[in-house]
């Protein structure tokens, strides 16, 4: 073994060459060695691909820190072991779905085989399907767990493995840590790869129909949709799974003028027309936006590969097309659900919303003014699902979301749902149009009434082992040396979700934070600005969330106030030293 590799890396590589791995895998390891791809080998073997609190996500390839048949098999065997412990004597069932990524069908089949080899009945979608339908299927079929093979909006080189629990939500404490412990115990020889075909049952159109029927029950303004049925909608699935359901849903809702972006309609794991298949990126929606502009459409909708996130574009108050961020879309959607339900007489008085701690606090202001309770959770939709489970039968989940383009309404799905969101956003636009308004004008009215909340996200990509260490060092430094001022504003409070403490820097008072432990820091300034820092759990990034606010005394002041808020965020970014 070459001395160009650290001893522990060389030992891990040799273990794969000597172990019971298939010949194709060993040949690829030897190729990397012969080509002296030492950085690639280090990144592939310096640690085991972690089964984190949401499952696996990583680059596809050979090695213990990559997505491949062995890391997927280990994850599935560990989850199977935990299910057998958690539900003794029960007939276990799991559901499995997969997206359009390369190797997703193969990983899904492998997962089904390992589960079935452990005596667990598997419901396997026969073709690619959206993540939210997997959540729905778990609940309908009475499964104890489920898995979807997806890397969501990550680049094409990635794939992933998301694990779900009996309620249809992703696993939360204590199950997440318990599953991680079981996965870590599994050795190569423990994985049961030989499946039992009789325990693998197909899922398809019948589940689609049940799901769509439930989504249609959420519509609150069908008359407005009928009057605006000719509204022009451009939709792109960005080569992902939403093509299977969104056009059908919009048609059933009554929209007759839906135009699919054909260049991106075919599922393709290489995502040939985009750099990243992420609707948060303007580039990913550029083809759809050009089509929407050319035909003078009313709305552009674009989803990520597994259809749990949706980005939108529409005309702003000046008649120019604008991509909305996740906070703006969430604000409009929640406002629509409240207003339209009130108009329809469907509010029952025990509704609530839920959002993450890095999502706009404008949602809190709207809900509280409307008499709705608000739950704030850690980042990750599984925590919103946990809130729904805890309040089920006592209160009704009206809707919620997170700034990263994920939204949900109703209680029959327990993960963010771009299929459902596409339908409700289209209805929202039709409802506004039916009242002679544009959604963007409604957004400005909301700012005028509740305050102008303005947010930006900055993400720093730090790849590989060195990048992970750099992110860790940044968070450590922020904890040891928190800024005393940012953007000319004194920092008055620091919330550290790792220690679960909120400290008032003016008085020294420390209060306990109610949420679970998480690697998140938040800085609050004397003017009400909020800056959050957290390493991504799914990408090699550290993310900074900026939120500032000001009064908007009248609609005509929108441009002026927005410019001032942008300048305020620019000053905050500069003081944090994150601009590159």
Q: Which residues form the catalytic set?
A: 152
293-to-280, 314, 317 alpha-carbon distances in Å: 19, 9, 15
84-to-94, 241, 256, 397 alpha-carbon distances in Å: 12, 31, 49, 32
Q: Where are the alpha helices (DSSP H) in 246-359?
A: 246-253, 286-294, 326-343
For residue 414, give both structure tokens. Answer: 């327990």
- In what helix (H) or strand (E) does residue 56 lie, and over which residues does it extend? strand 55-59
Task: Give the Cα separation of 160 and 178 in Å (integer).
Answer: 19
Contacts of residue 532, Cβ cutoff 8 Å, sequence gap at least 6: 357, 358, 520, 521, 522, 523, 543, 544, 545, 547
Contacts of residue 332, Cβ cutoff 8 Å, sequence gap at least 6: 324, 425, 428, 439, 442, 443, 446
Task: Give the Cα separation of 180 and 198 in Å (integer).
Answer: 29
Task: Give the Cα separation of 535 and 468 in Å (integer).
Answer: 9
- The residues that bridge with 260 in the sheet, in sequence order, are 235
Centre a 10 Å sphere on the Cβ of residue 468 and count the other Cβ atoms it contains: 16
How, if at all, do strands 310-315 and 299-303 pair? antiparallel
Task: Give the Cα separation of 423 and 253 in Å (integer).
Answer: 8
Burial of 55 (0-12, 13-18, 19+ CB in 10 A): buried
Locate tokens 């839906």: which residue? 258
For residue 276, give both structure tokens. Answer: 């990243």
For residue 385, give both structure tokens. Answer: 């699902």
Look at residues 546, 522, 220 and name the one whose alpha carbon lies nearest to residue 399: 220
Locate tokens 């049961």: which residue? 192
For residue 579, give both structure tokens. Answer: 């601009």
CA atoms within 13 A on the CB side of 30: 9
Task: Give the Cα separation of 462 and 485 in Å (integer).
Answer: 26
Contacts of residue 72, Cβ cutoff 8 Å, sequence gap at least 6: 56, 107, 110, 111, 161
Task: Give the Cα separation of 239 and 153 in Å (integer).
Answer: 11
């Amino acid at each position: 073994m070459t001395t160009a590799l650290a001893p522990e890396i060389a030992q891990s590589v040799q273990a794969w060459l000597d172990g019971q791995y298939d010949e194709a895998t060993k040949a690829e390891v030897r190729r990397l060695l012969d080509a002296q791809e030492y950085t690639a080998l280090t990144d592939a073997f310096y640690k085991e691909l972690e089964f984190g609190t949401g499952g696996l996500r990583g680059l596809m390839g050979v090695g213990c820190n990559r997505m491949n048949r062995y890391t997927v098999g280990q994850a599935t065997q560990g989850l199977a072991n935990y299910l057998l412990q958690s539900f003794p004597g029960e007939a276990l069932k799991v559901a499995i779905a997969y997206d359009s990524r390369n190797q997703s069908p193969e990983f899904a089949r492998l997962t089904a085989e390992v589960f079935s080899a452990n005596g667990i009945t598997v419901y396997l979608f026969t073709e690619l399907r959206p993540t939210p339908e997997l959540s729905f299927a778990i609940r309908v079929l009475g499964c104890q767990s489920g898995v979807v093979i997806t890397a969501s909006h990550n680049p094409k080189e990635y794939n992933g493995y998301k694990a779900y629990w009996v309620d249809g939500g992703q696993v939360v404490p204590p199950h997440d840590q318990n599953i991680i412990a079981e996965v870590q115990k599994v050795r190569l020889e423990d994985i049961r790869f030989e499946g039992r075909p009789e325990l693998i049952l197909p899922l398809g159109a019948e589940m689609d129909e049940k799901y769509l029927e439930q989504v249609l029950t959420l519509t609150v303004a069908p008359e407005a949709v009928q009057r605006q049925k000719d509204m022009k909608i451009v939709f792109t699935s960005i080569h992902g799974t939403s093509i299977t359901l969104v056009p059908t849903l919009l048609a059933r809702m009554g929209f007759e003028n839906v135009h699919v972006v054909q260049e991106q309609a075919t599922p393709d794991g290489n995502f040939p027309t985009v750099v990243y298949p992420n609707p948060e990126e303007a580039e990913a929606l550029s083809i759809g936006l050009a089509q929407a502009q050319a035909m003078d459409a009313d709305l552009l909708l674009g989803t990520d590969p597994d259809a749990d996130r949706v980005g939108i574009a529409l005309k702003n108050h000046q008649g120019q097309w604008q991509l909305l961020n996740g906070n703006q879309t969430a604000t409009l959607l929640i406002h629509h659900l409240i207003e339209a339900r009130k108009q329809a007489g469907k509010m029952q008085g025990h509704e609530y919303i839920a959002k993450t701690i890095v999502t706009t606090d404008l949602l809190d202001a709207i809900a509280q003014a409307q008499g709705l309770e608000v739950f704030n959770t850690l980042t990750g939709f599984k925590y919103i699902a946990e809130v729904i489970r805890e309040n089920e039968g006592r209160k009704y989940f009206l809707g919620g979301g997170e700034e990263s383009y994920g939204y949900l309404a109703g209680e029959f799905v327990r993960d963010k749902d771009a299929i459902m969101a596409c339908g409700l956003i289209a209805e929202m636009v039709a409802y506004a149009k039916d009242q002679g308004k544009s959604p963007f004008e409604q957004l400005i009215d909301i700012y005028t009434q509740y305050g102008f909340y303005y947010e930006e996200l900055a993400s720093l990509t730090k790849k590989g082992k060195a990048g992970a260490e750099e992110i860790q060092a940044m968070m450590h430094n922020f904890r040891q040396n928190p800024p005393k001022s940012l953007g000319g504003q004194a920092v008055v409070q620091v919330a550290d979700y790792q220690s679960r403490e909120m400290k008032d820097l003016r008085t020294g008072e420390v209060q306990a934070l109610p949420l679970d432990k998480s690697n998140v820091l938040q800085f609050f300034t004397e003017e009400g600005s909020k800056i959050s820092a957290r390493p991504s759990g799914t990408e090699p990034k550290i993310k900074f969330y900026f939120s500032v606010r000001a009064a908007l005394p009248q609609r005509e002041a929108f441009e002026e106030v927005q410019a001032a808020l942008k300048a305020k965020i620019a000053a905050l970014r500069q003081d944090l030293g994150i601009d590159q």
